[in-house]
A and B are shown apart, each in its own frame.
Chain A
């Protein structure tokens, strides 16, 4: 299984809502990532988890809260987001070669 699965595929939320994005991989990778991609832009790194511990936080606002419950799962908890946070959120796993999920397209109203 070389898939990274993300849910939901689409999410619309208000600025006062709390929601979560989920990511799952079964390739045995010990590093998992969250990237944010705006339209016509490259993916931008947000967080890296290595062996279930947060190893990189690219100065992401605290309204984004990552969580790694186990080596196969990665969550991104969202609270009090702004309209400018609307983007495609990509999960990835791997060490050198990264395997990306299809992404969760988030719209903040």
Chain B
């Protein structure tokens, strides 16, 4: 089955800095790559996603890049704010309704 690795497990930055989280996957048939944000005690919520026919996607301060050849994708957050503090999960899907999550990154943004 699909194996998704996510790094780092913890990331501490100062407000205004950039944060980068990386994920690698094993199944070359995977074609959908979402990122979810989960605040403490809350539900996971989709923040951005990318499909295999696109190399990069941006939404305001958040961007995702995909390298299908190397089987890795990354989340980039610029101008971080304290409210960005949360656990971020990457996920991978082959399109058969089976979403496999990465191990998660706890992001802490200090004012």
Q: Report which A residues bind B (CB closer than 8 A).
A: 31, 33, 40-45, 48, 50, 55-56, 90, 95-98, 100-103
Contact = CB atoms under 8 A, between A and B. Distances in A.
Contacts of A100: 43-45
Contacts of A31: 97
Given A48-B98, A56-B97, A56-B98, A98 B46 contact: yes
Listed residue (A42, A48, A90, A102) with the most chain B CB atoms within 10 angstroms of its CB: A42
Contacts, number: 44
Q: 9 tightest CB-CB pairs across the interface, nearest first? A: A42-B101, A100-B43, A48-B97, A102-B43, A100-B44, A97-B46, A42-B89, A42-B104, A43-B101
A50 B98 CA distance: 12
Contacts of B46: 97-98
Given A42-B104, A50-B97, A96 B32 contact: yes
Given A100-B45, A101-B43, A102-B42, A42 B97 contact: no
B44 to A, nearest CB: 5
B39 to A, nearest CB: 11
A96 to B, nearest CB: 6
Nearest to B95: A96
B86 interface: no
22 contacts: A31-B97, A40-B104, A41-B104, A42-B89, A42-B101, A42-B102, A42-B103, A42-B104, A43-B89, A43-B101, A44-B101, A45-B99, A45-B100, A48-B97, A48-B98, A56-B98, A96-B34, A98-B34, A98-B46, A100-B44, A101-B43, A102-B42
Contacts of A48: 97-98
Contacts of B45: 100
Given A40-B104, A56-B97, A95-B97, 17 more contacts: A33-B97, A41-B103, A42-B89, A42-B101, A42-B103, A42-B104, A43-B101, A45-B100, A48-B97, A48-B98, A90-B43, A90-B44, A96-B34, A98-B34, A100-B43, A102-B42, A103-B43
